Amino acid sequence: MPHTKLLRILAICLHLFIGIGAIAGGYAAVSNPLSPLDAPAEMLKNGPFDNFLIPGLFLMIILGFGNVMAGVLALLKHKWWEYATGAMGDTLILWIVIQCVILGTFEVLHVIFFLLGVLQGTIALYTMYKGRKFPFDQNMSSEKVSL
């Protein structure tokens, strides 16, 4: 399965790219929660936060360190790397959707990172399918199952 190896390498690259960027962005928000990277806290008026501290912590810890750890799992070919990749992809997609709703904006970077999350999820689903790692038994015969 050479294509699966290539997808694992792509997943590692995605995890590191997203993770390092999220750590940097999260650190900016945590270190200056009122105006990280010149973003005023009033941008959050439609959401539950008065400043960027909590979103910054989530960005840094969950999306940042989470993606780096998922990348390490993929690098080490850990048996759960696909699940971690899928979880990080789903988390990134949700993060972008929630961010767009709270900020009331829709920018090119939102589209790019949404699509990166979709790509992570697609890699996870495909490699799990090829490796028969779905949480159900794919070896079931086509016989009818009696209850």
Instruction: Show pLDDT as tens, one digit a residue, over the chain (147 residues).
Output: 568 899 999 999 999 999 999 999 999 999 999 999 999 999 999 999 999 999 999 999 999 999 999 999 999 999 999 999 999 999 999 999 999 999 999 999 999 999 999 999 999 999 998 888 876 555 544 555 455
pTM given for the model: 0.87
> Is residue 105 within 8 Å of residue 50, measured between CB atoms?
no
CA atoms within 13 A on the CB side of 30: 13
How many other C-beta atoms lie within 10 A of the C-beta of residue 98?
13
Q: How far apart are CA 133 and CA 135, in angstroms?
A: 6
> Is residue 55 within 8 Å of residue 84, measured between CB atoms?
no
Domain boundaries, the chain: 2-130
